[in-house]
Structure 1
Amino acid sequence: MPCSTGRPSRSGPSPTSAGSAEVSVAVTPDGYADAVRGDRFVMPAERRLPLSCVLDVLEGRAQHPGVLYVQKQCSNLLTELPQLLPDLEPHVPWASEALGKMPDAVNFWLGEAAAVTSLHKDHYENLYCVVSGEKHFLLHPPSDRPFIPYELYTPATYQLTKEGSFKMVDEEAMEKVPWIPLDPLAPDLAQYPSYSQAQALHCTVQTGEMLYLPALWFHHVQQSHGCMAVNFWYDMEYDLKYSYFQLLDSLTKASGLN
């Protein structure tokens, strides 16, 4: 049965609950959104689907082309799923006190096991909470920057055709995007030999657990099928920590290690 828009799951939430809420869904042919594919930095196709439709696909009651991942990082929990807010804390009290601010964004994540987040870093202090399932993080501290390659790529976006196939369309109005081409799970050390000097950390966050992921830490993320998570993004302070990373980044580029 194909997944349609506007139909609540028969066995899931009712139309008056979160199941009928439309959410932004990243759709890719292989589960990699915002990742290097060949000589392009490719962003996912985006569709608006009822949350119940996504759940139907995850639970095998419906079908949809490609791999689905609810991963819109624009405080989508607040803007798209306000029905869930009574069940969640609006922030992480100890983090808000320690950082002296409230979160800039609260994001909701739900997807298939094939959905993978490529290696990257963020300018946010990240409190990542797993509600159901498991998240598998591969981490590098900012000090590993000299061993992590960056290259410039022409940006492109997947488009989902009516037939259910994908095509890649260049974003000609956008500037080239610096991104990490390396897959840390199967690194090409012949092409990127410096990565052998990096020391990856591995961490599994299980149901009911929270990971504090500091700003500027590199991370690659996998998950169990149907994993549900919420994360709180606090804007980082552009202080000595940021200046140190910028210096390290500049020295890496100047030395030709990049």
Structure 2
Amino acid sequence: MRTRKMDAVKKYLKDFAQEARELYLNEAVPYLEHAPSPLEFYREWIGPNKPCIIRNAFSHWPALSKWNPAYLREAVGSKVISVAVTPNGYADAVNGDRFVMPDERKMTFSSLLDVIEGKVESKGVFYVQKQCSNLMEELPELTGDVEPHIPWMSEALGKLPDAVNFWLGEARAVTSMHKDHYENLYCVISGEKHFILLPPSDRPFIPYELYQPAVYRQREDGGFDMVDEAESEKVSTSTMDPCGPSEPRPGVLPCLPAGTAPPLHRESRRDALPSLPLVPPCPAVPWLHRSELLVRHGV
């Protein structure tokens, strides 16, 4: 009886995911050629919880023409910023039997550019990926080149953004699979970003396991060790990042097992639900290029 009930649940969930795509989700992420009005944005994208890519939404930003290595060196080259360093480009990801977070270090912006441009050899992968409004807090000199908020987004949501982040990385840097609990916009100033998007209806197909948290630490010879977080936190508070940890991390963490799919960011224990051995429909896989803006939604 229990097996039959579980088989029925699996079928309903698989059908639900397929019907969601057939009824309201798009096979590919749609492109808009200009920014929508606040009402249109809320009605067509926020309300249905659907992503879209918008062209020409911030073509007036000076950053599009100004932000290059030479300009950034002159504007903020001496500023000390927070940089995530990993051996393979995967931060906040499963490695063996650990959920490993990056080696967070402080360095000047010019030193980071030296690594990214290949002027200084490094065995690690460097990625500016802070999510504590680091553009406003660490790099206020650059805020005049962008808008501190997107007017039609702010009007549609009735609030200003909680954070405005600056991300910079080399091609090997990867943002691990995760979910955001809020609406957000991702603007590409230079280069391109590859996304894999899964709708909330695919949640039952995502497997979770529990992993002990750890962090990467780079040795003097350039190699990396994985250090359990309890040991890592014994360092002096004078070396801690001013943004602090993104959230408390007691005990083991639920996330995707290695070798199954891209690992998830750490989430609350209540999200560590049993997964179903089903194959979900194909996800949306958009490429975001220079001057394009991706709208993503919390689930």
Q: TM-score, normalising length from structure 1?
A: 0.73
**Correspondent of 2:155 among 97, 103, 106:** 97
Computing the radius of gyration from Cα coordinates, the structure with the larger value is: 2
Tell me, yes or no, if structure 1 residue 178 matches structure 2 residue 236: no
RMSD: 2.0
Alpha-carbon separation, structure 2, partners of 1:23 and 1:53: 10
Higher helix share: 2
Structure 2: unaligned runs, 5 residues or longer: 1-68, 231-248, 264-274
Tell me, yes or no, if structure 1 residue 213 matches structure 2 residue 290: no
Which residue of structure 1 lines up, in the alignment, with residue 189 of structure 2?
A: 131
Which residue of structure 1 lines up, in the alignment, with residue 56 of structure 2?
A: none
C-alpha distance 73-195 of structure 1, shift in aligned 2 (>3 A)? farther
Deviation at 1:179, TM superposition (A): 1.3
Which residue of structure 2 lines up, in the alignment, with residue 254 of structure 1?
A: none
Contact 1:13 1:52 in 2 (8 A): no
Higher strand share: 1
Contact 1:148 1:195 in 2 (8 A): no
Identical aligned residues as a percent:
58
- 1:175-217 CA distance string (max 9 Å, x none): 21111233259xxxxxx8835224311111110010000112x
Tell me, yes or no, if structure 1 residue 27 matches structure 2 residue 110: no
The SS at the match of 1:103 is coil
Contact 1:12 1:19 in 2 (8 A): no
Contact 1:21 1:51 in 2 (8 A): yes
C-alpha distance 14-150 of structure 1, shift in aligned 2 (>3 A)? closer
Partner amino acid, structure 2, of 1:176:
V
Alpha-carbon separation, structure 1, partners of 2:105 and 2:210: 27
Partner amino acid, structure 1, of 2:253:
V
Partner amino acid, structure 2, of 1:129:
C
- 1:170-249 residue pairs with structure 2 within 5 A? 170-172=228-230, 174-181=250-257, 182-184=260-262, 194=277, 196-216=279-299
- 1:107-126 residue pairs with structure 2 within 5 A? 107-126=165-184
Structure 1: unaligned runs, 5 residues or longer: 1-10, 186-191, 217-258
Contact 1:121 1:215 in 2 (8 A): yes
